[in-house]
Amino acid sequence: MALWPDMVDPQRREVQWIDYIALFVLYVCIVGKRSSADFMTASIQDNLRYWRTSLADGALGEGKFTQSDRNRFVDVPSGTLKTGVLPQEVVDQVFRGQTSSRTVAVRFWPLVTGRQSSHGAARTGGLPEIVAPVVTEATVDRDGHLTPMRNALARDLLTPLPSGEFAIGSVDALDTFLTETPLPDMSGTAAWEDYLGHCRKMVDAVSQGWPRGDTDYQPIGSGFLELAEDANATVRGILDLYDKLLAEAPEAPLLMQVAQPKRAAADPDHRIEQEFSRRLGHSNPNFALAQHQRQVLAWLDASAPGEVIAVNGPPGTGKTTMLLSAVAGLWVRAALRGEDPPVIVAASSNNQAVTNIIDAFGKDFDKGVGPFAGRWMPEVKSFGMFLASHSRRLEAARRYQTEEFQFERETVVYV
């Protein structure tokens, strides 16, 4: 199994990261690092603040929709907009499949406007078909009561935006309003009236009176509601992590390299690729590594904390096989030093990339002959743990060892 000829490029020291990968890296880079107030430079802190702001902006939710988007929402009748209480049929729909939960997290759009028609046909001009500026994170109880938890305007309706994009106001105006006028306490008897007042004041703060005076849009008389994805909780966790990084400034070489990439001071020494002694572990006793796989492992061993090695190749070119041997080498090196084995984190925006690695470990390390074959603990079939999203935990647990599986292994009953 050979790797693509351009699979390893030791001279590539600058790395361009898409937002999702950078966010996953942030989780990894602070583990086991010591604090150092002077380690994080001002420019790196500026980058982190920019990333945090971009993530927070994106988490505000959408405000522009097409008519086909309405299929994903539950329509909220006008009566609910006045009282904050959902009708029973909507409550049943929201709680479908929720057998024990007393409340469910939702996102709620109380002000939905549609683009006006002209002689029975929608107007053209590139305007969005539906505009719903207010996005509210709320909970719904089994009696149908909506309790707002967070209130904001959709980021895709606020400047700065790409040239020509429809907008009703600016992010600066929203930030100023929310700083001076946070969402009121929602536990009082007049909570729903206070919430509606906050919505109106917030829209007026960025676009006085909108949609009044806008000849393109008019309210449709109902709202939108959808179950809140657990990505919202993930986003809040990452925002907290950004705040921790900015406050404590830990020494985190990988984070520094991502935030402010630096080139190597000298050209790489290609003799490293020939040093066979650097490759201490191998995952498969039946097949040798290809030349490019060996090169990657040598450069991995020679890399300093925070350095990034880019490996590319189409499916089936041996990337996962190379990773197995890389982990085996790290385990062997830790054993020779008398240290605990390292924790390896595989992160991807595609679950399949992660499960491929877990499956490979289960296949290559689970069975065999000899004293080190198989598992020493009952039911433990892999060194890997799959940390799936909250909505996919049950599905993941049918095939992989999840966090709940690990907790069960640490009980007195199991031991």
pLDDT digits (tens, 9 = 90+) for 362-387: 775 555 666 666 666 778 777 778 88
Model confidence at 240: pLDDT above 90: no
Model confidence at 169: pLDDT above 80: yes
Model confidence at 352: pLDDT above 60: yes
- Least confident residue range of 39-53, 128-142, 353-367: 353-367
What's the one-letter identity of residue 61? G
CB 113 within 8 A of CB 218: yes
Cα separation of 283 and 289, whole Å? 10
Continuous segment of H or E residues that includes residue 178:
helix 171-180
pLDDT digits (tens, 9 = 90+) for 287-336: 788 888 888 888 888 888 888 888 888 888 888 888 888 888 888 889 99
Q: What pLDDT does 15 receive?
A: 31
Mean pLDDT, all residues of the chain = 81
Continuous segment of H or E residues that includes residue 94:
helix 88-94
Q: What pLDDT does 25 receive?
A: 41
Model confidence at 3: pLDDT above 80: no
Helices (H), 119-230: 171-180, 191-206
Model confidence at 8: pLDDT above 60: no
pLDDT band at 341 (very low <50, low <70, confident <90, very high): confident
Token pair 């990894």: residue: 28
Q: Which two tokens stand for residue 406?
A: 């690990």
Model confidence at 137: pLDDT above 70: yes
Using the 8-state DSSP alphabet, how is residue 65 labeled?
Answer: E
Q: Which residue has the higher pLDDT, 285 or 354?
A: 354
Cα separation of 305 and 319, whole Å? 21
CB 279 within 8 A of CB 301: yes
Q: Which two tokens stand for residue 52?
A: 């945090």
Model confidence at 52: pLDDT above 80: yes
pTM: 0.61
Average pLDDT over residues 24-29: 42
Q: Give burial (CB, 10 Å; 0-12/13-18/19+) of 179.
A: exposed
- Least confident residue range of 49-63, 97-111, 208-222: 49-63
Q: What pLDDT does 289 receive?
A: 84
